Amino acid sequence: MDVRLRKFLGTDTLLPYWLLLPSIVFIGIFFLMPLFNAIMLAFRADNGAFTLDYFKKMVADVRFIEALKYTFFLAITIVPLQLITALAMALLVNTGFRGSRFFLYLFALPLGISDLAAGLIWLSIFTQHGFLNSILYSLGIIERPIYFISYQNIGLTFLAVVVAEHWRATAIVLVILVAGLQMISKDYLEAAEVLGARGWKKVWYVILPMLKPSLQSALIIRTIFALQTFAVVLALAGDIIPVLAGEAYFWHFLYRNSHIASAYAVFLMVISIGMTWFYLRFLRSRMEVIRG
Amino acid sequence: MSYPRLLRRTLLYIGVTAFALWVLIPIFFIGISSFTPRNEIYAWPKPIIPSHFSLDTMRFFLNSYGVLNSLLNSVWVALLTLAFTLAVGAPAGYAVARFFFRGREAFRLGILITRMFPTALLAVPLAVTFIKWGLYDTLIGVALIHTAMALPFAVIITTGIFMGVPKDLEEAAMTLGCSRFGAFARVALPLALPGLAAAAMFTFVISWNEVFAATILTVNNRTLPAHILTTIQASPLYFRFAGGFFMILPALLFMFFIRRYLFHMWGGATAER
Amino acid sequence: MRRFGIIALALLIGSVAGLAAQKITWMSTQFVPIAEAEFVRNEILAPFAEATGIEVEFIGAEYAEFVSRVEAEYEAGKGEIAVLCGLHGDFVSVLDALADLSEVSPGGTISDTLMKLGQMGGKQAYIPLMQATYLMVVNKKALEYLPEGADIWALTYDELLQWAKNIYEATGMQKLGIPAGPKSLLHRFIHGYLYPSFTGYQVLAFDSGAAVKMWKYMQELWQYVNPAAPTWDAMDTPLLSEEVWIAWDHTARVKQALIERPDDFIAIPSPAGPAGRGFITVLAGLAIPKTSPNPDAAAELIEYLTTPEVQVKILQGVGFFPVVAEAAGAVPSGALQILAKGVSAQAASPDAIVSFIPGGISDEYKKIYKDTFFKFVIKGEPVDVEFLRSQATRLRELYLEAGAPYPAPDGG
């Protein structure tokens, strides 16, 4: 019996399942349960009846289209930018020059900075009487402070948010890419050099393809977070740039309607799943090429 | 050194320095702001280097009602989270790394999917459950939800770590008479320790910085970010700077001490050439 | 003769002794948090007992308990509670049980505007005790740009527009500030200040012609408002950093600016529109139940609590502002005094239209006002009556769903 069970499960022992059990239980209780409740809120009215009203209301909301637009634009602007920057940083550090370890620590610093603090920092830079304007003014470049954050110039405000988010979250992508780079077997690299691929060629034809799984993971993770975080957008741009996650938050805490808040959250979740599927499909690569 | 090589080296150093400055300057700003005397904080133009450094702001912040308490709470919660997360997540990582079992990919994907729902909204149904179970407004309660939030990362990281530990070594140990657990404890664990330390750091930082769940699940026993968030409305600007800086500092220090292991986060070692 | 004298003396002593031993019960929905209750007992009631010999037992109660006890005693025809303290809404619920206070004189001058608010059911149901409100704070630097003939203690919205315009033309900067961030109190400005000032009502005239004029005015005014306004939840920081010279907000959210630099700012009443000077008052008052066992002592307490000195103490201890005109001057100089002067002036305006915060309905009403603002003012779309109408319908639905009355000045 036991043997057949094991055969069915595809392993020669039940051990892995025992090892997984604590995590599954944990996530089940503290995550899946409230998740289920929260999702149900979006579909169920107070009297228990199943309804799509809340979704209808969400779509009819004056700010829904704006929020959707900006959430989307932020994601497609920030993620590629971060990917490129992180790749550059990772490649530089990976050359292993003297002090590279220290520089890696520096690059990873923003990992330790919460959204709250990051928003505060960049606000103090971009605000009308903040550091950036103060520097420009002291250098005589401008006569009057520039309104970086202004509903009259949403483009500039958007840029400020992109800069702040980029600064804050590139480290996440960096760390994933560095790990991926390390996992590339030295043999491949040496073989490539022997065969004449150096410098840029090596990067383009050898390293990047082997980095694909990491790039993919980085893309997925970063996009999921990009869709969700709004702390920095809120701190810098307030109501000038509405985003979906922010709307969910306000519906719940300010307007006290958890149903619509959950509708927004479910919508976000669906978008995240959709984008993940998209990435997995069109950036297909073999899973975990190198193993120890 | 040949000319092209020298050029390349120089460009390299310029590149990394530029990036390093990019990362450091904003941190520098908030550090400076926390030590700027109160009357200069609102000045226009804002001085990059204040006329004199003042510990006033920091002192005011630290002496403010509830700050030291919430600081201690944050430390407790982060340590508890660390313990729970590693205890639960490391075995899972080991399982995924070593065994090819049915449901393996599903588990990995599932872990990822849990992070796709905005966590701020999860905290409210959770609060209701916590009240029923008597976990509301307790540090353990917050630690438990932090563990749930950090678990996906922990599992991903430990999977990578254990993947980086060659299977052969454990198998060798087992042929020499060790039990599976013995092989794990004597061979895999020591090799994985640096990586586990990195995972621990990651978890600590996540818990330390987490704001929303902590705010919703506590009333009297707040963590530092929760405390700052709730008092921020009524607080003057310098208070917020000091608070922000204070939140950053421990995370930065912690990461400094673990920096050696940053490389090991996903398995595999690197050497400076 | 002598015997008569001794008896008279004994009676006198007896009555004084009797007077000294008075004890009354005061039930209140305000000052309930422990710190505030202690403050009231130690700083306010203890000196009262010393001065008059009347001991007051202070009982804090939640709304539900308050209402049920008052009603119970009224029905029974007799009771223990001698004096009450509550918000306007609390008294509305127990109106029949309250005695007429027209004969009771407060310890200071309370403006007619406020006294009128306490008149319900054909009688003076309560005497105002303290208030919270929203007003404008101005950096003294802005004063030189004030338009000719404008009086900052009685500004109109048109004058405000001209003022902001003057500053802009002289300095090139938009120095007017209204908090429009997601967690700001913008909705209070719209439903409690703008709407009553332009249309005379909070809800009833939401989509009227006067409202259209109001929105067009706001579109014009907004040109001179600092463009970072939609990121602000409170005005104290922008005032301090001088990104703004004229600001509107709740007293608590501008207080910090006044504490840091009391010499740089003054607090003034909000402006008046074509229909009057609309502003929100969160008003708490004192009442005597018909079944009070000691109405005279109760009246003495009311008089005491409305003396300027005690009003100032309340301000310092709890943060609610005085209703008594003399109190504003009696506040020790500093942030509170500046604010108190503004609050007082606003409350005493002859053209005042007092608004109350809507109660008992879903918080979604905030979003209705804010969304309209977002659409017309921030995004600058032309004022569309159809949209106003649909918002108005939704707003009325909220009140209907909850069965709640429209708030003052709509006649709720």
Mean pLDDT of all residues in chain B?
A: 78
Q: SS3 sequence, A119-179?
A: HHHHHHHHCCCCHHHHHHHHCCCCCCCCCCCCHHHHHHHHHHHHHHHHHHHHHHHHHHHHH
Residues of C in contact with A152 (CB under 8 A): 227
Chains in contact with B via at least 3 Cβ–Cβ pairs below 8 Å? A, C
> Which residues make Cβ contacts (< 8 Å) with residue C320, sequence separation at least 6?
C30, C130, C131, C132, C284, C314
pLDDT value of residue A289: 38
Query: Looking at the domain B65-266, which fold is it?
Result: MetI-like fold (1.10.3720)
pLDDT of the residue at A17: 82
Helix axes B67-98, B139-163, angle to 10 degrees: 30
Q: Which residues contact B225 (CB under 8 A, 6 or more apart)?
A: A114, A116, B74, B208, B209, B210, B211, B214, B215, B247
Q: Closest CB to A22: pick one of B88, B99, B268.
A: B88
Band of pLDDT at residue C273, cut at 50, 70 and 90 = very high
The rounded distance, in Å, linking the Cα atoms of A224 and A276 is 8
Query: Over the stretch C40-98, which tens digit does the pLDDT of each residue have?
Result: 998 999 999 999 999 998 888 888 788 888 888 888 888 889 999 999 888 888 888 99
pLDDT (tens digit, 9 = 90+) per residue, B84-107?
999 998 888 888 888 877 778 788
What is d(CA C43, CA C46) in angstroms, rounded to the nearest whole number? Answer: 6
Contact A239 C375 (CB under 8 A): no
Q: How far apart are CA A16 and CA B96, in angstroms?
A: 7
- Chain C residue with minimal CA distance to A232? C231
Question: What's the predicted TM-score (pTM) here?
Answer: 0.78
Domains of chain C by range and CATH? 2-131+282-332 (3.40.190.10), 133-280+354-402 (3.40.190.10)
Please check the confidence at residue C303 and state whether its pLDDT lies above 90: yes
C127-139 and C265-268 as β-strands: parallel, antiparallel, unpaired? antiparallel
In sequence order, what are the beta bridge partners of C132?
A: C282
Count how many pairs of residues, chain B against chain C, have C-beta atoms within 8 Å. Answer: 22
All residues at 6 or more sequence positions from A191 whose CB lies less than 8 Å from its CB, including other chains:
none
**Does B10 contact A at CB distance below 8 Å?**
no
Share of chain B above pLDDT 70, in %: 88
Mean pLDDT throughout A103-129? 86
Among C368, C409, C59, CA closest to C190: C368
Q: Are the beta carbons of B195 and B157 closer than 8 angstroms?
A: yes
Can you tell me the mean pLDDT for A26-51?
A: 82
Q: Of the candidates B200, B161, B164, B184, which has an alpha carbon nearest to the alpha carbon of residue B79?
A: B200
Q: Which two tokens stand for residue A6?
A: 């094991």
In this model, does residue A247 exceed pLDDT 80?
Answer: yes
What residues in B contact C242, CB-CB < 8 Å? 42, 44
B16: closest CA of chain C, how far (Å): 35
Count Cα atoms within 13 angstroms, Cβ side, for B98: 28
| pLDDT, position A6 | 63
Res A266 pLDDT > 50: yes
**Smallest Cα–Cα separation from C117: which of C327, C268, C285, C328?**
C285
Element (H, E) at C249: strand C246-250
Between B191 and A251, the more confident residue is A251
Helix (H) or strand (E) holding C258: helix C251-260
Of A128, A151, A256, the CB nearest to C230: A151
Domain extent listing, chain B: 1-63, 65-266
Contact B121 A37 (CB under 8 A): no
Say if A63 is an interface residue toward chain C (CB within 8 Å). Answer: yes
Pair type for strands C277-287 and C127-139: antiparallel
Structural contact between residues B150 and B208, judged by C-beta atoms closer than 8 angstroms = no
Mean per-residue pLDDT for A266-289? 73
Mean pLDDT of C238-257: 90
- The ipTM (two decimal places) reads 0.80
Q: Region C319-333: what's the mean pLDDT?
A: 86
Q: How far apart are CA C411 and CA C204, in angstroms?
A: 10
What pLDDT is attached to residue A7?
A: 63
Q: B18-22, B62-66, C190-194, C287-291 — which is least confidently predicted?
A: B62-66
Enumerate neighbours of C (3 or more CB pairs within 8 A): A, B
Average pLDDT of the segment spanning C255-270: 90
Q: Which has the higher per-residue pLDDT, B146 or C16? A: B146
Chain A CB contacts of C172 under 8 Å are: 144
Helix-helix angle C308-318:C335-347, to 10 degrees: 120
Q: Helices in C57-156 by DSSP H: which ranges? A: 63-76, 88-93, 112-117
Q: Which chain B residues are Cβ-neighbours of C183 within 8 angstroms?
A: 233
Find, among B237, A234, A136, the residue nearest to C239 by Cα.
B237
C240 contacts B234? CB cut-off 8 A: no
Degrees (nearest 5) of the Cα angle C381, C398, C277? 65
| C36 confidence band (pLDDT: 50, 70, 90) | confident
Check: CB of residue A23 under 8 Å from CB of residue B87.
no
Residue A205 to residues A146, A195, A199, A291, B27, Cα–Cα distance (Å): 45, 12, 10, 21, 37
Tell me whether residues B236 and C242 touch, CB distance under 8 A.
no
Enumerate the H helices of C261-384 as residue ranges.
295-305, 308-318, 325-330, 335-347, 364-373
CB contacts, 8 Å: A53 with chain C:
none
CB contact under 8 A, B44 and C242: yes
CA dist C125 and C123 (Å) reads 6
> Who among C226, C243, C367 is closest to A255 (CB)?
C367
Looking at the predicted structure, is the pLDDT value of residue B180 above 80?
no
Say how far apart CA A184 and CA A195 lie, in whole Å.
17
User: Which residue type does B48 have?
Assistant: I
Burial class of residue C384 (count of CB atoms within 10 Å of its CB; 0-12, 13-18, 19+): middle
A13 contact residues in B (CB cutoff 8 A): 99
- Residue B25 scores a pLDDT above 80: yes
| CA separation for the pair C336, C317 (Å, rounded) | 11
CB atoms within 10 A of CB A249: 22
**Banded pLDDT at C387 (limits 50, 70, 90):** very high
Domains and their CATH numbers in chain A = 64-282 (1.10.3720.10)
Number of separate helices (H) and strands (E) present in chain A? 15, 0
Residue B234: the pLDDT is 54
C305 vs A48, more confident: C305
Which one-letter amino acid corresponds to residue C383? V
Is C80 an interface residue toward A (CB < 8 Å)? no
So what's the pLDDT on residue B235?
63
Of C324 and B195, more confident: C324
CA gap C320, C303 in Å, rounded = 18
C34 interface with B at CB cutoff 8 Å: no
Q: How far apart are CA A67 and CA A73, in angstroms?
A: 10
Residue contact A183–B266, C-beta within 8 A: yes
Interface touch A167/B166, C-beta < 8 Å: no
Interface probe with B: pick from C250, C256, C263, most Cβ of B within 10 Å: C256
Cis peptide leading into residue C409 (ω within 30°): yes
**What are the backbone angles phi and psi of residue C87, rounded to the nearest 5°?**
-80, 165
C86 by DSSP, 3-state: which?
A: strand
Three-state SS annotation for chain B: CCHHHHHHHHHHHHHHHHHHHHHHHHHHHHHHHHCCCHHHHCCCCCCCCCCCCCCHHHHHHHHCCCHHHHHHHHHHHHHHHHHHHHHHHHHHHHHHHHCCCCCHHHHHHHHHHHHHCCHHHHHHHHHHHHHHHCCCCCHHHHHHHHHHHHHHHHHHHHHHHHHCCCHHHHHHHHHCCCCHHHHHHHHHHHHHHHHHHHHHHHHHHHHHHCCHHHHHHCCCCCCHHHHHHHHCCCCCHHHHHHHHHHHHHHHHHHHHHCHHHHHHHHCCCCCCC
Note whether A234 contacts C: Cβ–Cβ < 8 A: yes
* Residues sharing a CB contact under 8 Å with residue A98, sequence separation 6 or more, in sequence order: B272
How far is A90 from A176, CA to CA, in rounded Å?
A: 9
Q: How confident is the model at residue B231 (pLDDT cuts 50, 70, 90)?
A: low
Count Cα atoms within 13 angstroms, Cβ side, for A226: 34
C25 forms beta bridges with C57, C81
Inter-chain contact C363–A254, Cβ cutoff 8 Å?
Answer: yes
Window 246-275 of C: residues touching B by CB (8 A cutoff) are 252-253, 256, 260
Give which of C168, C188, C159 is closest to C282, Cα–Cα.
Answer: C188
Query: What is the CB neighbour count within 10 angstroms for residue C334?
Result: 11
